[in-house]
């Protein structure tokens, strides 16, 4: 199986120094354990900080050189098409760099690949050409899905720990540099503000109740009071979702 | 000279030649090792003193063994040399000369008896069986036989039938001994001598405590040791020098805790793997406790560590690098160097670390701190105290190195006490604040030399920007790194441990202390302060100055037992039957002390982690602060 692991130029959450993104190192581990030919892909101005990923079990790293002003999406999409990968792994979110966590979705849309988010484990699927993905759901729940490859899978921090760093492997490894595609980013309307931690919302029912009740409310699955539909017709499901979105005010009723 | 005597001389000479051939055969195996710089002339010249002074200093801790060895080795070598010399006609013809030979073999016989008495009928578990159990019989046979021949020659052939019997006995026993040169107990005699000459740390014989790990060249084609041929040749000689006395095994905390480490077996596994098609089959000492299965095969170019090799990785990662084994070893073997060399390969080349040891190294790589905590937060413990920053002052007499312990609540209390005392004594001090990175001790012990060297270089660059007279620290691991290990990278500092400084401040009256009520206290020596740096007295003096009743544990000073906190053992967390700190706390409780005085953040954390009824754990600084408070409450100092 040909596997591509997308690597972003991350930063350490505390020191702010360039550092590999832990969940992407876990993606390398999943690819490594699955076996096959694994390639790391990065599109950006500088891949030097990513060289350490070669010490975490990544055999090969290809760097598509673009400027800061370029959108990495076209370069990566081109590289993925050219490489004819069966499986593309990406982190669930980036860490600290330019990443928004949307790139895998944008890539999947552009390449018309199915996307399975939040994998905690991967295995060969029951038939050839399929992949079995164990998805990490909130509160430790797991769900197993089988997808046809090629597919794009994002990795969840609940996946097995990254392979420990081997200095000599990183030292020996080389980064293959290739020119990326020039694709100036469309000017964005995004407003930038310093991050402010929001107070955690505690379930309303528990406010003012005893400590034990508050703990229960905070830890128990918040049940939104929805309805469980098993195998609904697509139209019915869509209707239900729309109703729900209107109820909670996300969509305005028209 | 009787015919039997002449035959004995010939037999001894023949045995000596055979022995020499066996030695050469074994010594040729050492050539698989890497070259090392050895001052042969100085080593040879120093050999007698290294043997008679340094080795016997260690051997003498067990007086029985010292006497036994002096008699057996002295008698055997002396008697044999004389017997060979008797081939020179005037000597051989002298009956007086044969009296001397008789006496020498009588001494050897007495030594041989002691060797046997020590293992028969009951062999202590630390001694090896197998070939070692046959040693007393060969010794006795050879020396008794030669004794009879020599006695007969001294008496002028009066007991000649006994002499001929003796000759056969001597030949058989001597042959048995010579055959033990290759792989048996007699190997230690010549490998031990060679090891003393070519010792990798000759400073140990000059009264230095050379305990700093040697720097690794990070550009070398292979980092660390994977196979026996990756070790320097004089390290291989060291492995061959082991006499399997088991003193290291008795001292090893990991062994006592039932973790799969036995330093004696480790050295034997290394020595066994020197030869092609090696197996560990002939080892007959105590095993690794709860040994993990391994194939037990090796060779000069085959891997040493792994389930398919000689040594299981869990064995390697159980070591706390406490150096208790090195301290006890009469053959001056450097176990810790070997273990770190093997770890370096596992970590740097294979990335094969225990799962829980990898994250702290990763945090150190990208955040300069094993917990991944902000460097700014290191001084949080001092909230409410004045903690001058050296960047604000530009310089200070004393630079206080806080260390990793500063992030922990428990050790924060100790550091608060220390800072308070420094203020009270009017010491001009400052801290680096967020410019202090981890000293890299943990990385280095876990084999991550790359991270250690980077941290060392960056810390040295930071320190170079400020002026200070010396560095003060309450962390012996940082002390050891800064004082001894940074030197190889260009950092030369005078580093003081807080116990030494407080001792001086109290002694000179700069820090007035009152007497604490007669509390019984026992002092736990941190390995990195005591064995690594030879500082045993200052903390004890200081405790005595506080009016405490000081009790010594069964193991203290340079023979002290580790708390289990060094060498990355807490993060490697190899499973055993007991916990090392529990064992140590048991020894502390056995003294009847109410307080265990500690002087290291690791010891403090490990010993505080012991549950149940036990003595209190208090750092020396906390005790001094209590005593200093006692003086201020008793006799208020008049305002100046
Ligand atoms: S390594 Fe040293 S202390 Fe241990 S058994 Fe061998 S000779 Fe004795
Ligand atoms: S250094 Fe300490 S833990 Fe390691 S083998 Fe020696 S005695 Fe055992």
pTM above 0.80, yes or no: yes
Alpha carbon of B632: minimum distance to chain A alpha carbons (Å): 43
Does one domain contain both B326 and B409?
Answer: no
| The pLDDT of residue B14 | 95
Closest CA to A64 of A177, A224, A199, A156: A177
- CA-to-CA dists, residue B66 to B60, B79, B129, B330, B538, angstroms: 5, 19, 20, 10, 31
Taking an 8 Å cut-off on Cβ atoms, the answer to whether B366 and A19 are in contact is yes
Taking an 8 Å cut-off on Cβ atoms, the answer to whether B351 and A169 are in contact is yes
Is there a contact between A4 and A80 (Cβ–Cβ < 8 Å)?
yes
Domain at B501, CATH number:
3.40.50
Statement: residue A213 has pLDDT above 90: no
Residue B248 alpha carbon, nearest atom of ligand 2: 7
Does one domain contain both B188 and B46?
Answer: yes
Residue where a domain stops, chosen among B451, B486, B506: B506
Q: Which residues of A touch B448 (CB under 8 A)?
A: 167
Residue where a domain stops, chosen among B462, B482, B506: B506
Q: Which residues of A touch B222 (CB under 8 A)?
A: 168
Under-50 pLDDT residues of chain B: 636-640
Q: Is residue B361 part of a domain?
A: no
Statement: residue A226 has pLDDT above 70: no
Which of A9, A13, A14 should we substitute to test contact with B (largest number of B Cβ atoms within 10 Å)?
Answer: A14
Spatial separation of the C-alpha atoms in residues B81 and B92, rounded to whole Å? 13
Find the length of chain A: 254
Check CB contact of A163 with chain B, cutoff 8 Å: yes
Does one domain contain both B230 and B343?
Answer: yes
| The pLDDT of residue A250 | 81
Q: Which residues contact A208 (CB under 8 A, 6 or more apart)?
A: none
Q: Which residues of B touch A161 (CB under 8 A)?
A: 355, 358-359
Spatial separation of the C-alpha atoms in residues B467 and B470, rounded to whole Å? 9
| The pLDDT of residue A37 | 93
Closest CA to A121 of A105, A110, A133: A133
Domain tally, chain B: 4
Spatial separation of the C-alpha atoms in residues B96 and B83, rounded to whole Å? 13
| The pLDDT of residue B640 | 42
- According to CATH, where is 3.40.50.620 located in chain A? 2-179
Taking an 8 Å cut-off on Cβ atoms, the answer to whether A167 and B223 are in contact is yes
Q: Which residues contact ligand 1 via a Cβ below 6 A?
A: B 242-248, 263-264, 267, 328-331, 333
Residue closest by Cα to atom 2 of ligand 2: B322
Q: Is residue B209 part of a domain?
A: no
Ligand nearest to the CA of B241: 1
Select from B352, B373, B450 the Cβ nearest to the Cβ of A167. B450
DSSP 8-state class, residue B484:
I
The C-alpha R_g of chain A, in whole angstroms, comes to 21
Spatial separation of the C-alpha atoms in residues B328 and B319, rounded to whole Å? 16
**Mean pLDDT value across residues A9-19:** 89
- Closest-CA residue of B relative to A15 is B367
Does one domain contain both B463 and B476?
Answer: yes
Does one domain contain both B177 and B239?
Answer: no
The DSSP string of B144-181 is HHHHHHHHHHHTTSTTHHHHHHHHHHHHHHHHHHHHTT
User: Best substitution site from B213, B249, B252 to test ligand 2's pocket, by max atoms within 8 Å of Cβ?
Assistant: B252
Does one domain contain both B126 and B12?
Answer: yes
Q: Is residue B614 part of a domain?
A: yes
CATH of domain A2-179: 3.40.50.620
Domain at B288, CATH number:
1.10.1060
Q: How far is the CA of B635 from the centre of ligand 2 (A)?
A: 48
Query: How many C-beta atoms lie closer than 10 Å to residue A142's C-beta?
Result: 11
Is there a contact between B223 and B107 (Cβ–Cβ < 8 Å)?
no
- Strand B278-279 and strand B395-401: pairing? unpaired
Spatial separation of the C-alpha atoms in residues A100 and A92, rounded to whole Å? 10
| The pLDDT of residue A253 | 64
Does one domain contain both B322 and B275?
Answer: yes
Q: What is the dihedral of CA B94, B99, B104, B107, to 10 degrees?
A: 180
- CA-to-CA dists, residue B380 to B173, B363, B373, B428, angstroms: 71, 20, 11, 21
Ligand nearest to the CA of B261: 2
Q: Is residue B302 part of a domain?
A: yes
Q: Is residue B363 part of a domain?
A: no
Q: How far is the CA of A207 from the centre of ligand 2 (A)?
A: 56
Is there a contact between B537 and B567 (Cβ–Cβ < 8 Å)?
no
Residue where a domain stops, chosen among B318, B350, B382: B350
Statement: residue A99 has pLDDT above 70: no
User: And the tokens for B212?
Assistant: 């700093």
Query: pLDDT tens digit string along B6-54?
Result: 999 999 999 999 999 999 999 999 999 999 999 999 999 999 999 999 9
Q: Is residue B126 part of a domain?
A: yes
Q: How far is the CA of B320 from the centre of ligand 2 (A)?
A: 6
| The pLDDT of residue A207 | 59
Query: pLDDT tens digit string along B417-463?
Result: 999 999 999 999 999 999 999 999 999 999 999 999 999 999 999 99
Q: How far is the CA of B247 from the centre of ligand 1 (A)?
A: 6
Does one domain contain both B472 and B564?
Answer: no
Spatial separation of the C-alpha atoms in residues B172 and B91, rounded to whole Å? 25
33-92 of A, contacting B, C-beta below 8 A = 52, 55-57
Residues of the domain holding B476: 374-506
Statement: residue A193 has pLDDT above 70: yes
Does one domain contain both B11 and B96?
Answer: yes
Does one domain contain both B606 and B542?
Answer: yes
Does one domain contain both B180 and B234?
Answer: no
- Closest-CA residue of A relative to B449 is A167
Q: Is residue B204 part of a domain?
A: no
| The pLDDT of residue A201 | 59
Q: Which residues of B touch A52 (CB under 8 A)?
A: 365
Element (H, E) at A6: strand A2-6
112-151 of A, contacting B, C-beta below 8 A = none
Q: Is residue B107 part of a domain?
A: yes
Spatial separation of the C-alpha atoms in residues B246 and B224, rounded to whole Å? 27
Q: How far is the CA of A62 from the centre of ligand 2 (A)?
A: 44
Residue B326 alpha carbon, nearest atom of ligand 2: 6
Does one domain contain both B567 and B625?
Answer: yes
Give the model's confidence band at A138: pLDDT under 50 very low, under 70 low, under 90 confident, else very high.
Answer: confident
| The pLDDT of residue A221 | 56
Average pLDDT, chain A: 87
- Strand A61-65 and strand A37-44: pairing? parallel
Taking an 8 Å cut-off on Cβ atoms, the answer to whether A165 and B355 are in contact is no
Q: ipTM for the complex?
A: 0.86
């Amino acid at each position: 199986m040909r596997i591509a692991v997308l690597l972003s130029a991350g930063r350490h959450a505390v020191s702010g120094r360039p550092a590999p993104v832990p969940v992407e190192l876990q993606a390398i581990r999943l690819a490594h354990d699955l076996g096959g030919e694994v390639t790391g892909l990065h599109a950006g101005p500088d891949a030097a900080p990513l060289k350490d990923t070669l010490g975490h079990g990544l055999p090969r790293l290809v760097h598509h050189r673009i400027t800061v002003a370029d959108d990495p999406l076209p370069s990566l999409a081109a590289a993925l098409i050219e490489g004819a990968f069966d499986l593309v792994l990406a982190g669930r979110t980036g860490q600290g760099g330019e990443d928004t966590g949307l790139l895998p979705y944008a890539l999947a849309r552009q390449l018309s690949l199915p996307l399975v988010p939040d994998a905690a484990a991967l295995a060969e699927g029951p038939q050839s050409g399929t992949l079995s993905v164990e998805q990490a759901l909130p509160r430790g729940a797991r769900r197993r899905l089988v997808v046809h490859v090629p597919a794009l899978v994002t990795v969840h921090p609940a996946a097995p720990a990254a392979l420990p760093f081997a200095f000599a492997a990183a030292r020996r490894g080389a980064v293959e540099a290739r020119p990326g595609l020039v694709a100036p980013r469309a000017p964005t309307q995004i407003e930038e503000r310093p991050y402010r931690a929001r107070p955690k919302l505690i379930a309303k029912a528990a406010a003012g109740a005893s400590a034990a009740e508050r703990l229960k409310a905070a830890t128990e699955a918040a049940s939104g009071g929805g309805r469980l539909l098993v195998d609904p017709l697509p139209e019915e499901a869509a209707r239900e979702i729309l109703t729900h979105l209107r109820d909670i005010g996300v969509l305005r009723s028209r | 000279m009787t015919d039997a005597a002449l035959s004995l001389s010939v037999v001894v000479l023949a045995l000596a030649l055979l022995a020499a051939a066996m030695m050469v055969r074994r010594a040729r195996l050492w050539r698989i090792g890497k070259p090392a710089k050895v001052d042969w002339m100085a080593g040879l010249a120093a050999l007698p003193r290294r043997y008679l002074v340094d080795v016997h200093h260690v051997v003498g801790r067990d007086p029985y063994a010292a006497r036994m060895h002096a008699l057996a080795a002295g008698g055997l070598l002396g008697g044999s040399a004389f017997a060979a010399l008797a081939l020179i006609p005037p000597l051989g013809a002298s009956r007086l000369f044969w009296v001397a030979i008789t006496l020498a073999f009588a001494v050897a016989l007495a030594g041989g008896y002691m060797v046997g008495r020590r293992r028969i009928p009951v062999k202590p578990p630390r001694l090896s069986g197998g070939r070692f159990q046959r040693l007393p019989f060969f010794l006795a046979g050879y020396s008794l036989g030669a004794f009879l021949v020599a006695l007969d020659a001294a008496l002028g052939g009066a007991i000649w039938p006994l002499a001929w019997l003796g000759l056969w006995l001597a030949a058989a026993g001597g042959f048995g001994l010579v055959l033990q040169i290759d792989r048996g107990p007699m190997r230690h005699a010549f490998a031990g001598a060679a090891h003393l000459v070519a010792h990798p740390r000759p400073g140990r014989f000059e009264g230095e405590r050379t305990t700093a790990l040697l720097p690794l060249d990070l550009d070398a084609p292979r980092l660390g040791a994977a196979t026996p041929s990756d070790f320097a040749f004089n390290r291989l000689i060291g492995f061959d020098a082991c006499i399997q006395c088991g003193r290291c095994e008795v001292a090893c905390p990991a062994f006592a805790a039932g973790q799969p480490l036995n330093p004696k077996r480790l050295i034997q596994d290394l020595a066994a793997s020197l030869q092609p098609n090696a197996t560990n089959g002939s080892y007959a000492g105590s095993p690794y406790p709860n040994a993990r299965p391994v194939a037990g095969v090796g060779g000069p170019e085959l891997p040493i560590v792994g389930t398919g090799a000689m040594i299981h990785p869990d064995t390697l990662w159980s070591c706390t690098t406490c150096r208790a084994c090195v301290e006890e070893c009469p053959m001056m073997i450097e176990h810790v160097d070997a273990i770190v060399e093997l770890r370096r390969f596992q970590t740097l080349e294979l990335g094969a670390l225990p799962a829980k040891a990898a994250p702290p190294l990763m945090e150190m790589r990208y955040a300069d701190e094993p917990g991944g905590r902000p460097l700014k937060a290191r001084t949080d413990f001092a909230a409410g105290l004045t903690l001058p920053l050296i960047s604000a002052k530009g310089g200070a007499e004393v630079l206080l190195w806080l260390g990793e312990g500063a992030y922990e609540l428990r050790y924060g209390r100790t550091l608060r006490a220390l800072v308070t005392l420094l203020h009270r004594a009017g010491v001009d001090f400052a801290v680096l604040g967020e410019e202090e990175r981890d000293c890299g001790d943990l990385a280095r012990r876990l084999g991550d030399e790359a991270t250690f060297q980077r941290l060392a270089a960056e810390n040295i660059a930071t320190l170079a920007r400020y002026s200070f007279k010396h560095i003060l620290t309450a962390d012996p691991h940082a002390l050891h790194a800064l004082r001894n290990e940074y030197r190889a990278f260009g950092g030369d500092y005078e580093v003081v441990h807080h116990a030494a400084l407080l001792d001086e401040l109290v002694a000179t009256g700069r820090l007035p202390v009152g007497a604490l009520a007669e509390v019984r206290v026992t002092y736990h020596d941190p390995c990195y302060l005591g064995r690594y740096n030879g500082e045993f007295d200052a903390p004890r003096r200081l405790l005595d100055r506080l009016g405490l009743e000081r009790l010594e544990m069964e193991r203290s000073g340079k023979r002290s037992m580790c708390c289990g906190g060094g060498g990355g053992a807490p993060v490697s967390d190899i499973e055993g039957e007991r916990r090392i700190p529990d064992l140590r706390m048991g020894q502390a409780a056995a003294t009847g002390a109410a307080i265990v005085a500690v002087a290291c953040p690791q010891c403090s954390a490990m010993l505080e982690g012991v549950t149940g009824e036990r003595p209190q754990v208090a750092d020396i600084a906390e005790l001094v602060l209590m005593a200093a408070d006692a003086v201020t409450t008793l006799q208020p100092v008049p305002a100046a």
